[in-house]
Amino acid sequence: MLCQFSFQNFKSYKEETTFDLQATAISEFEESLIKKEKCSNLLPVSVIYGPNGGGKSNLLQALACLITTVVKPIHDLGNTREDIIIQQGFSAKPFLYDAKTAEEPIEYRIFFRKGDYEYRYYLATLKDEIFAETLDRKTIGGKKPAQIFYREGEVITLGPTLIKEGVNTKVNEKMPYLSFLAINYNISVIAEVQEWFESCIIRSYGNPIVEMEVMFSEDVNVKKQIVTLLNDMGIDIEDYRFDSDEKQLYLKRTIAGKPYELSLGEESDGTRKLIAALPAILIALQKGRLVIIDELDAKLHPKLLRYVISLFKNPRVNKNGAQLLFTSHDMSTMKNTVFRRDEIWFAALNEKRSSEIYSLYEIRHEDNERVKSTAAFDKQYLEGRYGADPYLQNMLSGGDWL
């Protein structure tokens, strides 16, 4: 489970930026939180709003770049531990509006939980080479973390766990040491971290090609779950089948007592999006995975988007601590009946053309009071009171924008 992610010098983000999924001490939707003894509660859902070009997608891409930098070399050499890996990579570029940062490393820091441990991993890359890397862990509820390894340039320092294993410290300058260990050794602490990174699901539905990348299963129970979820969302089908000769998925319906089949390409944009997204969402809920989706709301009816969000916020459905992190432009779901204040984040450019993020819970009014949990979040956002979309306020007030 993801607790916190920090990064700096990545695309539109110059300064160190922290995205936090640790729940604050507020009472909204408390029953939906992911809870474990001796540690902070975690949020099952977080959404990022903001104007085009504000940095929403870049935040998710930074997280995706860290994950795939670790997973790709393992996957390429066929040493993965997860049966199903659903990820897509993005290019990593530094902040370019500053001559200094263009020559400095991109840095990532991630804090997550797996089993009985909390892990902290740091990675810095400079022009496709590993600049520095660190992995620490501690028992949940413990006070002092133990260093697994530390890397700076070509020098790698091993912690007690790896010293006992007698591992090699010579590694290609372009490969993370974490990936190298996962490929070449069977060490429990490394395997646990590897499994977490491989379990993360990364999709971008701003890319039309991704919408046509459909996973399907012939397993009777899985098919039943997918069909049930589609029916709950108003997509009335009885079954589906995949034609291996045509490489085409068909949805089955009965209309006026007569059976019909339509290929996926003949379905609506929203139906195609759901068919593409649901299997990944179902896998995440079943196995407690992190799902990272850019533009989840694209071509989805607001009611369907609410339904997907509700699956993660329902502890009876989300029994294994799955988390959903996504970007959205959909104002109809920015409501106190859907989200906690700390689940809503905003991304926007500052006066130096660098992106910044902040949660709704962090915003304070002129009287220093926080936004109330009973506030009309969508209305106040459109009024420009949250500061993440200065264009909308000008447009709605009749400003000169043409």
pLDDT for the residue 212: 54
pLDDT for the residue 207: 59
pLDDT for the residue 315: 95
pLDDT for the residue 211: 53
What CA–CA distances, in Å, run from 98 to 14, 94, 103, 282? Answer: 9, 9, 9, 43
pLDDT for the residue 192: 97
DSSP 151-178: EETTEEEE-HHHHHHT------TTS-HH
Is the Cβ–Cβ distance between 327 and 296 less than 8 Å?
yes
**Residue 78 region by backbone torsions, left for phi larger than 0, else alpha for psi between -120 and 50, else beta:** left
pLDDT for the residue 83: 84
pLDDT for the residue 142: 87
Mean pLDDT per 10-residue segment, the chain (402 residues) = 97 96 95 92 96 92 96 93 86 90 95 95 95 96 92 95 94 96 96 97 72 64 81 84 84 88 82 80 92 83 87 95 94 93 94 93 86 92 76 43 38
What CA–CA distances, in Å, run from 281 to 185, 200, 368? Answer: 31, 11, 39
pLDDT for the residue 64: 96
pTM over 0.75: yes
